[in-house]
Amino acid sequence: MSEAEKPLNFIQKIISEDLKEGRVKALKTRFPPEPNGYLHIGHAKSICLNFGVANQYGGTCNLRFDDTNPEKEEVEYVESIKADVKWLGFVWDGDIRFTSDYFDQLHEWAIYLIKEGKAYVCDLSQEESRTYRGNLTEAGKDSPYKSRSVEENLVLFEKMRLGEFEEGVCSLRVKIDMAHPNMQMRDPVIYRIKKVAHHQTGDKWCIYPSYDFAHGQSDAIEEISHSICTLEFEEHRPLYDWFIANLPVPATPHQYEFSRLNVNYTVTSKRKLKLLVDEGHVDGWDDPRMPTISGMRRRGFTPAAIREFCDMAGVTRVDGVVDVSMLEFAIREDLNKNAARAMCVLHPLKVTLTNYPEDKKETMTAPGHPQRDDLGTRSLPFGREIYIDQDDFREAANKKYKRLVIGKRVRLRNSYIIEADESIKDENGEIIGVNARIIENTVGKNPEDGIKAKGVIHWVSADDNIDCEVRLYDRLFTEEAPDAGGKDMLDSINPDSLQVLTGCKAEVSLANATAEDHYQFEREGYFILDSKDSSTDKKIFNRTISLRDTWNKKS
């Protein structure tokens, strides 16, 4: 189905109608991550939606960092987010924005609310504030400090700005309604004291605006037409609208909510992901088992596959859980079409071709991809000794086994048919080698004696290959909902989520592999060079995904 034929989701319908009716002249969206961690697959959906509709309707999309909480934010996260958005294939409009760019204006608007009699400095402690706030069934009650005069509030707020109060002593709140059924509207805090240096503004401020106060006003400053966010912010929308209505903002954006992307066998809480990193359960935010965009990139997922997955998941207002196998399907589909082919023996077993001259060398030719002429061909050195995988040889086997067996024939991929004669064992009876014979004149053709091979196996030359490490990655958790119902996610960490294989043998064409090149190791899966640990002297390949979904068979 072409893009033009796809039915519109509800966000697209809203935008189409707004443009048609002239309610907005041009579409302008934004992606506003908080730089307190690395982006994950859920953020990818928001990125694809915000940037995607902007591209679709000829609009623009800003990248703005919601940096109102300096205690948890770092420049490292800012840089990682910029890299993730670019890698996914999107370009933001103009310069990077930061909510901190608007701190002066937000401060002025806070003073404006005080002067209008709509904001007050409150001295209640956090515990007292919770008590006064009430709950879902009981109304709250007004703070005893709500009746302070405008003049007193202006003086106290200035003292807050100057750092004359300690953290937690007081805050600035807006006057709405302590009996409001929406808890967000019960005189929310819009400024709190935090004596923490900011990664953008340094020590200029010791008071910082709340997310709810800064978010809508930042949208207004940037003249955002459609503020698109996830459903958990739906109850915040009345407050978003209250600020827009009660401040002299230059524009009146509107907030729309869609369901967040929840994926099974995964956690996407930044707090929980940070725990995995901090306690060493994974190798950093970019560990290939993490659901972070940087982790998926390092593992070998492609931008196209992630965009396709987000499209398949859909944009609705109904919360649900998407099966991770849908993501795995998207990456298999993409790599099957686009990944170059190569051979790598993960568990090497030496085969000596006894009727092949010791001093003879040949070069076999193999396609870069069976359906992609544009990927050219690759050269495979061939000699008397080769490596095959240990699992591809048995001394005896039933008819279902289509690999090398003593007295039986098998074809080497893009090379000869061979027949096994005997196994070689060590003193403990372990098989350490195989003696076999080539069947002459069988490169690219069947044997003249009419006895065909039963199967095809991969191989590499024993003399001309690349010694490498291969990392086999799988799902990080064994349970569909590892953190549901108060469960400790650490109890369901998959002990087999990473297997490290050393001494693997890869074909020589992989000598020039880069961390941008995707490969199908024939019969083994899809792989990519590790961007973090691999070096010129040590090639490390990460398995992106197996050729087929075998998870249910293992479970």
Catalytic residue among 34, 223, 469, 479: 34
Active site residue 270: yes
466, 506 contact by CB (below 8 A): yes
> CB-based contacts of 120: which residues, under 8 Å, 6+ apart?
114, 143, 145, 146, 148, 153, 172, 173, 175
Q: What is the dihedral of CA 526, 528, 534, 540, to 10 degrees?
A: 10
Round to whole Å and give the CA distance between 301 and 527.
10
Round to whole Å and give the CA distance between 146 and 124.
11
Catalytic residue among 270, 307, 384, 539: 270
Round to whole Å and give the CA distance between 191 and 457.
67
Give which of 54, 78, 71, 188 is closest to 133, Cα–Cα. Answer: 188
Beta strands per DSSP E along 288-408: 321-322, 340-342, 344-345, 348-353, 362-367, 377-382, 385-389, 393-394, 404-405
Strands 340-342 and 409-412: unpaired
Q: Within the chain, what is the greatest distance between any pair of CA atoms?
A: 104
**Residue 72: exposure state from Cβ atoms within 10 A (0-12, 13-18, ≥19):** middle
Active site residue 130: no
Q: Tokens 């039986």 — which residue?
A: 408
In the sheet where 409-412 sits, what is the strand order? 456-457, 409-412, 417-425, 431-439, 348-353, 385-389, 460-461
Active site residue 260: yes
484, 321 contact by CB (below 8 A): no
**Strand partners of residue 471:** 500, 542
**Residue 304: exposure state from Cβ atoms within 10 A (0-12, 13-18, ≥19):** middle
Catalytic residue among 72, 118, 175, 260: 260
Round to whole Å and give the CA distance between 379 and 131.
75
Neighbours of 523 (CB within 10 A): 16
Phi, psi torsion values for 143, nearest 5 degrees: -65, 145
For the chain, the helix, strand and coil percentages under 3-state DSSP, each to the nearest 5: 30, 25, 45
Rg (CA), the chain: 31
Residues labelled as active-site residues: 34, 260, 270
